[in-house]
Amino acid sequence: MSLPFNIAIDGYSSSGKSTLAKKIASKYTMEYIDTGAMYRAVTYYFIKNDMIHENRFNINKLEHHLNQIDIDFSYDVNTEKSTTILNNENVEDIIRSPLVSKNVSVVSKILAVRNKLIHLQQEKGEFGNVVMDGRDIGSIVFPNAGLKLFITADIEKRAERRFKEFSQKGYDVNLNDILMNIKKRDNDDTKRELNPLIITDDAILINNSDKSINDQLKFINTLVQKKLKNYENNN
């Protein structure tokens, strides 16, 4: 089953929006695009090429290198695993590292970076049947998406999730440091002048602090079925 419209998922860092988006993609045989991974891939490219240090960089140098960045995805609906490809290199694991997490917020504020990635994202969703998660999907990338969701959770829950993710990958991390990083990311995302994280008027808010992934999917399925019925009646 595929859908004749796109699903836009926005939300705070570590709110579980990517996990939810992958489940939705598998259930409805949709193409899944992780826009956060796109910004992380660009950040990793800058770090790898020694162009960013402790959130300091040369904007002209970064913009010059944007044309040398190619990002693609490989998603397996059966395993629900997404792989981010940067210039033909699998960077799925390295872009989730603490170093990239520490710098991605400042990179995402760069106008040239956002313009490039938003253009790529809109191209991906031109013909519908795409589920995309990020921070400006419903407001900027897919303002006419058939279904918009905004995912949140208590900040302590989000910090615990990120701590568990890093620990399982073998990173030596501190829970309080992660909590502080998420607080800073929330502030950066919601206060930036360029395409801030907002809840659009037509988005459905889901707080999953105490909701299982199955509970969320059941609720979303009712929304999808309602949207499908409306779509069929109007076409």
Q: In this structure, what CATH number is given to the domain that contains residue 202?
A: 3.40.50.300
CA dist 11 and 188 (Å) reads 13
Residue 115 belongs to some domain of the structure: yes
Residue 207 pairs in a beta bridge with 152
The whole-number pLDDT of residue 54 equals: 73
Residue 173 belongs to some domain of the structure: yes
From the centroid of its chain, how far is CA 85? 15
The whole-number pLDDT of residue 183 equals: 95
In degrees, rounded to 5, the angle at the alpha carbon of residue 50 between the alpha carbons of residues 136 and 81 is 45
The whole-number pLDDT of residue 1 equals: 67
Give the start-end residues of each E strand in 49-208.
52-53, 56-57, 71-76, 81-86, 89-90, 130-134, 147-152, 204-207
Residue 140 belongs to some domain of the structure: yes
Residue 160 belongs to some domain of the structure: yes
Residue 234 belongs to some domain of the structure: no
- Of the candidates 188, 187, 39, the one whose C-alpha atom is nearest the C-alpha of residue 47 is 39
Number of domains in the chain: 1
Domain that holds residue 45: 7-229
Task: pLDDT tens for the chain, 235 residues: list them.
Answer: 688 999 999 999 999 999 999 999 999 999 999 899 999 999 999 999 999 877 778 888 888 899 999 999 887 777 778 899 999 999 999 999 999 988 998 898 899 999 999 999 999 899 899 999 999 999 999 999 999 999 999 999 999 999 999 999 898 999 999 999 999 999 989 998 888 999 999 999 999 999 999 999 999 999 999 999 988 888 7
- Of the candidates 153, 152, 131, 151, the one whose C-alpha atom is nearest the C-alpha of residue 141 is 131
Residue 208 belongs to some domain of the structure: yes
